Amino acid sequence: MFRLAAFSFVVTEGAASALDIRATATKDWTPPRVTVDLDRAPEHRWEEIVTAHRESFLSAINTIFTTPQIRAFVPALKLVVGNAIVRRRLLIGDQLKEAEAIARQLGVDVADIVLASSFYDLFAAKGSPVAFAACSGVVAQNAAGEIIHGRNLDYDFRDALANSTLVVDFLRGGHTLFTAVTFGPMPTFNTVVRWGSFSLSQDERDKGSLLQNLWDIVILGRPAQFSRIRQAAETLDRFEDVVDYLSTVELDAAAYYIVGGTKPGEGAVVTRDRSKAADVWRLNATAGRWYVLETNYDHMLPPPHGDDRRHPLQRAMNATGPQRIDPESMWAVISTTTANNSAGERGPLNDETIYSTVMQASNPASFKTMIRGHPVVPEEPPSSVEELLVVI
């Protein structure tokens, strides 16, 4: 079990001292880690996983689909996404065969699995009953040129999703091709690292309307975003190819993609409209931009009062610096809870954080995902520059 800790940065003449670590909580836990062999027939890839986690998967489906804000929509949406034509377009290739097999084994309608896998695409919009400004992603380059990627996934339905979270190693030819974090029973995901190639996480961007999302899904036939991400993990093996793909592929809802590579300079935030990229913001360590970060607001615009997670992350990154950023200190950064509430800030690690991940495409040993316990929220940071307290 991982310990949350408090880092106290004592600042003298504008420079941060070494980190002083103090334990504050012990509520995190490691999700189950499972294996999906892509060389098996898609109908059988998830059999053992579904058997082992059946109850948590069914509980998650029931909790989400019966929640008051969306239960009235569920029957109609299941008819829309569950019909044979739409579901074949939403889930690419073998993913649909996997979803159909998972549904049979769970004893539920395949529409339940397809709806879960396309939940983001249906509800990420302005005015959505579950529009949820959440998630944080950071990609940094340290002084040695290594790329480190950190992400927090925050969302509603926290307990149900926490109990169904899986780390999945996808194998091909007997070797792990990529590792993803997903919510069972979905065969798709929005956090993944393809070893030796790239890391990728996705954050919500609420633009447009629910009707636009439905139009793109039903009329234009665009696949679900999490399905697109899995397709990228299975078929692409270069950082630039992934950035290009995520910048140009047609989507059915807006999004942010945070991408890390294996070489110096390989880091980017892709801000997406439905049909094209609105912006691609890249690492440039020689110009002083040794990290890029994203929450749920365009990086060139100020975050809204009350949900400013950007500035607490920036303070934590700046206090750490490129000389000290590594997987351990990146975990510290994304575990920050201290925020100036009176200035409209909110902790990047908060009560909606379901899991956190640190990953490096160049270093499988650094991969770490933990389900987060509810954080111990500290007092607002002191106003004196002599002591800046960042709780991680």
Tokens of 145: 């040129």
* 134 close to 155: Cβ distance less than 8 angstroms: yes
Catalytic annotation on 158?
A: no
Amino acid at the residue 112: D
Residues 6+ apart with CB under 8 A from 137: 149, 150, 151, 152, 201, 203, 256, 258, 269, 293, 294
Instruction: Give the Cα separation of 214 and 36 in Å (integer).
Output: 31
Cβ 223 vs Cβ 230: under 8 Å:
no
**Complete edge-to-edge strand list for the sheet that includes strand 353-359:** 291-294, 136-141, 147-154, 353-359, 368-371
Active-site entry in 19, 61, 113, 135: 135
In terms of phi and psi (left: phi > 0; alpha: psi -120 to 50; beta: otherwise), the region of 340 is beta
What does the alpha-carbon distance between residue 158 and residue 389 come to, in Å, rounded to a whole number?
27
How far is Cα 382 from Cα 263, in angstroms, rounded to an integer? 38
Bridge partner list, 355: 153, 371
Question: Is residue 120 classed as helix, strand or coil in its secondary structure?
Answer: helix
- Calculate the dihedral angle through the C-alpha atoms of 228, 234, 238, 239, rounding to the nearest 10 degrees: 40
Task: Enter the DSSP assignment of 288.
Answer: T
> E strands of 72-227, at which residues?
136-141, 147-154, 165-172, 175-183, 191-194, 198-204
Q: What residues have CB less than 8 Å from 63, skipping those under 6 apart?
A: 157, 159, 160
Rounded to whole angstroms, how far apart are CA atoms 205 and 131? Answer: 9
Q: What angle do CA 193, 195, 170 make, to 5 degrees?
A: 70
Q: Which residues contact 107 (CB under 8 A, 6 or more apart)?
A: none
Q: Which residues are catalytic?
A: 135
